[in-house]
Chains A and B, each alone.
Chain A
């Protein structure tokens, strides 16, 4: 439609074939540019995080950032130790994984090796709905449903705590773990199972000793995705886990995570270029690095234990 004027003006010098080739080239370049937008996004994210963090580290030493156990950048007595935020992030992540890894793996084994086709077709989309619910709704649920419930059992539990946030995140990431694990297990060749059955193994033995090891690389990819989600989860912890940066490993405490800190500070006003503005980028960079470390770790573990058929 739009190439009409182009055609008219070019027709004088170009044969229809050359024109057609030109048009093809132009379209390809345009598409390439579009595809490049994602690379540009990555570059922009990294550039933004790194430049603001560099400015931050000109005023705060890296040593203090990594070793100080206090994080109070907005106060007169400012401390810039990232450890309390990292500990909060790790504790909620561990709690979440303690829920999601066993439940997700068992669910995946069950769906892939035991469940009838009909059941799987019904249950799998239901589980996936868990991942489709907005996280702010999970935050509401953690704060106003799970925490009061837990307080019935643990009367000393504070109103904001990492336990309930972690549990809810755990349930939230079950579908990430189960879905991908199940896909991995289902793609294990049937003849392996048949061989196992022929040796007299039961379904469970086949599932645990043949299918699971064969699918381990896909399953660990699922775990890694789950970890990334849990580490980066923001609204649940910002609503239910509290906003105080405390260096603690006790999930019954309240504590801020890296993401909760970024949210809490963003709720106030951050003058562009000020040190407190830079703190959220330094915190963001830390978050990205943590995710990266888990990904690399997962990559190596996968390589080490991968079985090739």
Chain B
């Protein structure tokens, strides 16, 4: 008995030793990162901006060999600003300009920001590729589907336009914290956030793509990049803003014919964070590479001078918003954007 007990006891210590050794081995196998930069740069916000931001963050990581670290989260433009104005992020990704109420929330916490446009998006209305009912829709038809009064009433494709073959209308759209949602409701329904609520909503556009791609009767809307990456599974609907149906594309965004659903997208940098050398380096890199990243994920890059001006504005720490807080936000063309950027 005694002998056996001793053996068991020994085993226990061996076991503890083994666990400690494994833990050490695992710990050591985690490669040490040279810099002890305490806080990573935190990006949060729109899933429309996410593809560009992800591309930039990745390439920046490669460029700096991981010395400067950035995290990237999706919580919608509105959610992003909530976190931003609460001091929980350094950079807020936004698919619409900041709102009056959000500016106030930021001011309350003493948070100042620099507004930087990074690309143009064609907010895209999509249906399932098997849906042959229509190729284009007017703004009024979209409104008929999405306005608050449509709640639990417009439930069938036949109601959208006389003569369309019927079928249950399955709707997918961004959630209420999304900037795309705010922009779409303002451009189509005439009032930001006024929308029916009986649809599948998510702040993550990937879930919307999945929904539309899996359902023949589905209709949804989100940023162009998500359509571009999934063209085989989605069909874009041409939008008739009064001058005939126009499909979203780089061309139609550039020449200003894809209206009213073309829009600029932004990042907002916290002024306090902008004084950190790592954030400074990151933002400069972002502006220098935003055009390339935008083309890669199929957004429409701004003209080079727009990025130059934006970089200037960042270097000068130009605070506040030129686009948001009550200014006209729907139907902003690229030229208007340039003008707004320089004037302020």
Contact B76 A79 (CB under 8 A): no
Q: Are the CB atoms of B202 and A269 closer together than 8 Å?
A: no
Indicate whether A77 reaches chain B with its CB closer than 8 angstroms: yes
**Which residues of chain B have C-beta atoms less than 8 A from A244's C-beta?**
198-201
A274 to B78 Cα, complex, angstroms: 13
The segment from B27-35, B134-142, B209-217, B303-311 that touches chain A is: B209-217
The reply on B264 being an interface residue by CB < 8 A is no
Complex-state Cα separation, A254 to B201, whole angstroms: 13
Q: Do B194 and A76 have beta carbons less than 8 Å apart?
A: yes
Q: List A229-271 residues whose CB lies under 8 Å from chain B.
A: 242-244, 246, 254, 264, 267-271
Tell me the minimal C-beta distance from A226 to chain B in angstroms.
29
Is A160 in the interface zone, CB < 8 Å from B? Answer: yes
Q: Please, how many angstroms separate the alpha-carbon atoms of A159 and B175 in the complex?
A: 19
B-facing residues in A251-302 (Cβ within 8 Å): 254, 264, 267-271, 274
B86 CB within 8 Å of chain A? yes
Interface residues on A, range: 20 to 34
Q: Point out the residue from A76, A160, A271 that lies within 8 Å of B82, measured CB to CB.
A: A271
Q: Which residue of B lies closest to A155 (CB)?
A: B216
In-complex Cβ contact of B76 among A77, A243, A246, A269 (8 A): A269
Q: How does the 8 Å CB contact mask read for A142-175 relative to B, with 1 for contact and 0 for none? A: 0000010000000000111000000000000000
Contact of B203 among A77, A246, A254, A268 (CB under 8 A): A268
Distance of A269 Cα from B83 Cα, bound (Å) = 7
B177 at the interface (CB under 8 A from A): yes
B90 within 8 Å of A by Cβ? Answer: no
Residues of A within 8 A of B79 (CB): 268-270
Docked Cα-Cα span, A75 to B200, in Å, equals 13
Q: How far is the CB of A292 from chain B (nearest CB, A)?
A: 30
* Interface SS of chain A: loop
Residues of B within 8 A of A269 (CB): 44, 75-76, 79-80, 82-83, 177
**Does A72 make an interface contact (CB < 8 A)?**
yes
Chain A residues with CB under 8 A of B214: 147, 158-160
B193 in the interface (beta carbon within 8 A): yes
- In the complex, whether B48 has a CB less than 8 A from a CB of chain A is no
B176: Cβ under 8 A from any A Cβ: yes
Asked if A66 is at the interface of the complex by the 8 Å CB criterion, the answer is: no
Asked if A186 is an interface residue, CB under 8 A from chain B, the answer is no
- B170 within 8 A of partner (CB): yes
Q: How many angstroms from the CA of A269 to the CA of B81 in the assembled complex? A: 9
Query: How distant is the Cα of A70 from the Cα of B152 in the complex, in angstroms?
Result: 11
Cβ distance A118 to chain B, nearest Cβ, rounded Å: 32
Is there an interface contact between A75 and B193, defined as CB atoms closer than 8 Å?
yes
Nearest CB of chain A from residue B324's CB, rounded to whole Å: 19
Contact A264 B202, CB 8 Å, known A75-B176, A159-B213: yes
Per-residue contact bits, chain B 65-83, to A (CB 8 Å; 1 contact, 0 not): 0000000001110011011
Residue of B nearest to A242 (CB): B200
B115 at the interface (CB under 8 A from A): no
Assess whether A74 is in contact with B199, with CB atoms less than 8 Å apart.
Answer: no
Give the residues in chain A near B74, CB-CB below 8 Å: 267-268
Please encode chain B, from 81 to 92, with 1 for each CB lying within 8 Å of some chain A CB and 0 for all others.
011001000000
Cβ-based interface call for B204 (8 A): yes
Q: Which one of B193, B200, B213 lies within 8 Å of A243 (CB-CB)? A: B200
28 A-B pairs within 8 Å (CB atoms) are namely: A70-B198, A74-B177, A75-B176, A75-B195, A76-B195, A79-B197, A147-B214, A159-B213, A242-B200, A243-B200, A243-B201, A243-B207, A244-B198, A244-B200, A246-B198, A264-B202, A267-B75, A267-B202, A268-B175, A268-B177, A268-B203, A269-B75, A269-B79, A269-B80, A269-B83, A271-B83, A271-B86, A274-B82
**Which residues does A use to contact B, with CB under 8 Å?**
70, 72, 74-77, 79, 147, 158-160, 242-244, 246, 254, 264, 267-271, 274
Q: Given contacts A70-B197, A268-B76, A269-B75, could you give 14 more A-B pairs where the C-beta distance is less than 8 Å?
A: A70-B198, A74-B175, A75-B176, A75-B193, A158-B170, A159-B211, A160-B214, A243-B200, A244-B200, A244-B201, A246-B198, A264-B202, A267-B202, A267-B203
